[in-house]
Each structure stands twice: as structure tokens, then as C-alpha cells.
Amino acid sequence: MYVLALVTQKGGSGKSTLAVGIAVAALGNGERVAIVEADPQGTISKWKERRRHPDPRVVRVADSAEIERALVSLEAEGIWLTVIDTAATNNALAMRAIARADLCLIPVRPSPADIEAAIPTLIAIRRLNRRFAFVLAQTPPRGCRVSEAATSLNSLGVLALPYVGQRNDHQDALGAGLGVTEFAQEGRASEEVRELWRWILKKLVEGSSDHEPHARNEKAAY
Ligand SMILES: Nc1ncnc2c1ncn2[C@@H]1O[C@H](COP(=O)(O)OP(=O)(O)O)[C@@H](O)[C@H]1O
Ligand SMILES: [Mg+2]
């Protein structure tokens, strides 16, 4: 089972929106997908209540022991991808999510304050020796701030592609209990999320072949 964690202590950066978007894009390829919600705010469970389709499974967790139990039982059920959505804090639960992730995604809006706010998360990820990528999120339709932000993030680590633009489809999809790829299949937002998911999947597959057969033991050490 691949584990993907959306992390950054900055609120409003787009963690929950991307968690839903990515999970549903992965479902669209016929995979078994779950979301673990490690955020008391409950954005994902509220979305799930509005959703008619039974997938993805959503499991809420409140502490590190629960996250462990959830991941073990999801893997035993045959889930192929678990996306963990975390709260806007570097608490123990977020740290556990990072430690258990095959890949951490750090959504960052293109502003100096948002980039600065991502640094403590980056430090935590490096300390736990996990793989990560920034996702430039909620980018405006035009302007040089986006390329400046991309340059800064590239200098700090890997930047996922493509950028995720600021588009109403993301908000409307969340409100309708849908993933953006279900809500407006032909839209630009949908296209970006599908492409981002392909980028992420490539990294997950590369990572698992890099680390096999030791990956499990490395994870068990955290
Ligand atoms: N790409 C996007 N385009 C437009 N609005 C977005 C986008 N991503 C997130 N939002 C909106 O920004 C707000 C914060 O997003 P959210 O995913 O809840 O962030 P976080 O989980 O990091 O706190 C929400 O109102 C959400 O609808
Ligand atoms: Mg959230």
C-alpha cells in the first residue's frame, strides 16, 4: 500500500482539497483508495457525508496509535493507496503521518509568507528522512509571483508538476461531495489534478523500487 501525506502547518494552503482531488483521481483509474483524516476540523468527513459514492473509504484518527491501527487495517483490506490529510500544525499526529508516508506533499500558495510557513514542515520531513515534494497550489491565472515562488521552492527541494491553479471547480467539487475530476471532467482543474496524480504515482513507484526490499524495515523504525 502506498501512503501519501498532505502536510504543512500553514492553514488554507489546500491540503484537504488536494487530498480529495488526488484520492478521487486515483479512484478514477480503478484503484482501491482510502483517505485517513488526521485533522479534527473534519473537512474530509464532511465532504464524505455529502458524497453518494462509497469510495474512497474515509477513516478519522485522533492520535498516533489510531493512525497506526488505521494504516495496518487498510493495508490488510487490500487498499492500494492511502492519502493522509493532516491539520495545520506540526503536532505528533502530523509527525506520525510524515513518518509513515512514502511521499509527503507540501502544498504552498505562491507567496513569500506561505513559503516561509512551509519551512518547519520541511525540516521535520528531512529529520524523518522522508521523500517529499512541494505542490504550488492556488496559483493565480497570471503573474510573475508564480515563477518566483517556483524558483524558491525548487531551491528548497522538488517541485511537483503541474501547478494547481486557483479555480472555482475545486471549491464546487468539495461542496458537491465530488472530486474535481468527477465534478468537471473536461475542465482545466480536472486536467491539472489528473496530471499531478500521474506525477505523484511515478514518484511513488520510483520510491518503492529504490528502497525495496528494505522499505518496510525502515518504516518500522519510526
Ligand atoms: N486550487 C484551488 N482553487 C480554488 N480554491 C481552492 C483551491 N485549493 C483550495 N481552495 C480553497 O481554499 C480554502 C482552503 O483549502 P483547504 O483545502 O481547506 O486548505 P487546508 O486543508 O490546507 O487548510 C478552501 O476554501 C478551499 O475551497
Ligand atoms: Mg484541511
User: Which ligand minimizes its atom distance to the CA of 45?
Assistant: 2
Higher pLDDT, 180 or 212: 180
Q: So what's the pLDDT on residue 210?
A: 61
Other Cβ atoms within 10 Å of 39 Cβ, number: 26
Identify the CA nearest to 10 among candidates 96, 95, 106. 106
Domains identified in the chain, total number: 1
- Whether 12 lines ligand 1, by a CB cut-off of 6 Å, is yes
* Structural domain span for residue 210: 2-220
Average pLDDT, the chain: 92
- Whether 181 lines ligand 1, by a CB cut-off of 6 Å, is no
Sheet holding 57-60, edge to edge: 57-60, 33-38, 81-86, 2-6, 103-108, 132-139, 164-165
Which CATH number covers residue 109? 3.40.50.300
Instruction: Give me the residues paired with residue 83 across strands.
Output: 4, 35
Calculate mean pLDDT across residues 80-90: 94
12: left (phi over 0), alpha (psi -120 to 50) or beta: left
CA–CA distance, 27 with 34 (Å, rounded to integer): 9
For residue 142, name the pLDDT band (cuts at 50, 70, 90): confident
Calculate mean pLDDT across residues 17-42: 94
Q: How far is the CA of 211 from the centre of ligand 1 (A)?
A: 33
For residue 11, name the pLDDT band (cuts at 50, 70, 90): very high
Q: So what's the pLDDT on residue 31?
A: 86
Q: Classify the C-alpha dihedral 19-138-121-46 as positive or negative.
A: negative
Higher pLDDT, 188 or 208: 188
Write the CB contacts of 122 (distance below 8 Å, at least 6 apart in sequence).
106, 132, 156, 157
CA–CA distance, 155 with 64 (Å, rounded to integer): 32
Percent pLDDT > 70 in the chain is 94
Q: Which of 42-51, 84-93, 96-105 has the lowest mean pLDDT?
A: 84-93
Q: Is the pLDDT of residue 16 over 60?
A: yes
Identify the CA nearest to 136 among candidates 121, 122, 151. 151
Q: Is the pLDDT of residue 217 over 50?
A: no
Q: For ligand 1, pick from 18, 104, 170 the residue to mutate: most ligand atoms within 8 Å of CB.
A: 170
Q: For ligand 1, pick from 22, 138, 194 the residue to mutate: most ligand atoms within 8 Å of CB.
A: 138
Q: How far is the CA of 153 from the centre of ligand 1 (A)?
A: 20
Q: Is the pLDDT of residue 177 over 90?
A: yes
- Whether 91 lines ligand 1, by a CB cut-off of 6 Å, is no
199 is written with which cell numbers? 506525477
Calculate mean pLDDT across residues 151-178: 96
Q: So what's the pLDDT on residue 89?
A: 87
How far is CA 90 from each of CA 45, 58, 133, 148, rounded to the nearest angstrom? 21, 22, 17, 26
Calculate mean pLDDT across residues 88-117: 95
At residue 54, the 3 state secondary structure works out as: coil
Calculate mean pLDDT across residues 49-64: 97
Q: So what's the pLDDT on residue 144?
A: 84
204 is written with which cell numbers? 511513488
Instruction: Give me the residues paired with residue 4 across strands.
Output: 83, 103
